[in-house]
Amino acid sequence: MARDRSPAELVGAAPDAAFEITFDGRPITALPGQSLAAALWAAGILAWRTTRVGGRPRGAFCGIGHCFDCLATVNGEPNRRACLVPARPGDAVTTQEGHGHDDLAVR
């Protein structure tokens, strides 16, 4: 019965092998074509940013790049929208604190 099959089986998809990314130093499995947000969600990680005021946790909200709640630091680059960035083997995602520019100095 169709209910017993996965979406990949239903469409006859044959995805490439899974690969590893890291989140705050711990390994996470990602699939080809997944966004970073989707890979984090699949690993049970729901928040990867804190707000500037209050340090409240944030993760994906809209999932289409409109709201900026899913900002993360990816490979050392802050303010990347995890819902739009495709996961690539070896990506290092770290929790973004506040606005992501704490290390910038006014010159």
Q: What percent of the chain has pLDDT over 90?
A: 51
- For the entire predicted model, the pTM comes to 0.78
Tell the residue number behind the tokens 């006859």, with chain if given.
12
User: What is the pLDDT averaged over residues 46-53?
Assistant: 87
Summarize pLDDT for 51-96 with one digit per residue, the tens. 888 888 888 888 888 888 889 999 999 999 999 999 999 999 999 9
pLDDT at position 2 over 60: no
CA–CA gap between residue 45 and residue 89 (Å, rounded) = 18
23, 9 contact by CB (below 8 A): no
End-to-end, the C-alpha distance of the chain in Å comes to 65
Domains of the chain: 18-97 (3.10.20.440)
